[in-house]
Amino acid sequence: MDLNHLSVFAAVAETASFTAAARRLGVPKSTVSRGIASLEASLGVRLLQRTTRSVALTTAGQALVDRVGSRLKALTESIEGLAELADEPSGALRLTATADFGTEVLAELLAGFCRRYPRVTVEMHLSHRPVDLVKEGYDAAFRFLRKKPRDSTLVARKVGELSLQFYASPAYLAARGTPRTLDDLAEHDCVALTGTSPFARDEASRARAPLRVRLVADDGFFAREAVRHGVGIGLLPAFLAQQDVLAGALVRVLPRWTTPMGGVFLVFPSGQHLPKKTVALRDHVVEALRVQLTARAGRAGEG
């Protein structure tokens, strides 16, 4: 029995997808298909039930997973670990993040990572769509979370904190006035991101006031542009407002007010062994992202 064919089968069984298995293994989809066919032929049984939309284990396939799955994974990881001992991090990293955070924060961070590790290539997918890291073959995801996920198939490492602050365009403030207290917000239109609280809260006094939200968007770029064009006072993360504050296009209002948006987590599939490329990304991000977010938050409060 060919160990490579078993590895292909294990990847398909775990991801329930020939395409995702091919991405994970870094081989064409046709190689995965041939590997499964060869393994089924050598065993004389059908291991997978395939349709145009899904892949499911047969009874024989499930039995094979139960008997050799964990041992095969341990053996494969051990072989990969030995191979990596003599090498610097290398290979392809498939990552995902939201478009606003990826563009405004991660592009700079990953540029430094690529210079530091020239043998690693990065494939970044920017989307607000929730992705299944295992089934879709991603190595890691950057996510905004209020607490660590409880999903046993994932490991999450907190790499930073984000906060929301109020910003407005100079034209809006000239026309509508500048709020001085939370109660003043009742006289203003607001722009918010989907999922954020409809209340503003003063962290010092614990007072809170309802927001009159005029526009809600699930994309940070759109929300920022709406604020720039005078739709209302925006409740935005500092990393989105920094450049516009420095350029004078946005002004921070109610500067003593801020509220946590949640943590930035680097999330990756669970397992006893992380490839060297993923470890390198994790270690680089932990230091660089904390420094970058802290610096951006300070600059976004200027003006």
Same fold, 3-85 and 91-303: no
pLDDT of 201 over the 80 cut: no
Overall CATH class of domain 91-303: alpha beta
The average pLDDT across 77-103 equals 77
Q: What is the pLDDT of residue 297?
A: 59
pLDDT of 155 over the 70 cut: yes
Q: pTM for the full model?
A: 0.67
Please tell me the distance from the alpha carbon of residue 81 to that of residue 73, in angstroms, as a whole number.
Answer: 12
Q: What is the pLDDT of residue 223?
A: 96
Q: Is 87 exposed, middle or buried (0-12, 13-18, 19+ CB in 10 A)?
A: exposed
| Structure-token pair, residue 10 | 């294990």
95-106 pLDDT, tens per residue?
999 999 999 999
Q: What is the pLDDT of residue 177?
A: 96
* Residue-wise DSSP of 251-268: EEESTT--EEEEEEEEEE
Looking at per-residue confidence, does 85 or 56 come out higher?
56
The whole-chain average pLDDT of the chain stands at 83
Overall CATH class of domain 3-85: mainly alpha
CA distance to 151, 173, 177, 228, per residue, from 180 (Å): 43, 12, 9, 20
252-261 pLDDT, tens per residue?
999 888 776 7
299: pLDDT confidence band, cut at 50, 70 and 90?
low
Report the range out of 62-76, 144-158, 181-195, 204-218 with the highest average pLDDT.
181-195
Q: Which helix (H) or strand (E) holds 208?
A: strand 208-210
Please tell me the distance from the alpha carbon of residue 185 to that of residue 257, in angstroms, as a whole number.
Answer: 12
pLDDT of 122 over the 60 cut: yes
Domain parsing of the chain, residue ranges: 3-85, 91-303
pLDDT of 222 over the 60 cut: yes
173: pLDDT confidence band, cut at 50, 70 and 90?
very high
Which residues are CB-contacts of 98 (< 8 A; sequence separation ≥ 6)? 126, 127, 128, 142, 144, 220
Which residues are CB-contacts of 123 (< 8 A; sequence separation ≥ 6)? 92, 93, 94, 95
Q: What is the pLDDT of residue 188?
A: 94
pLDDT of 109 over the 80 cut: yes
pLDDT of 76 over the 70 cut: no
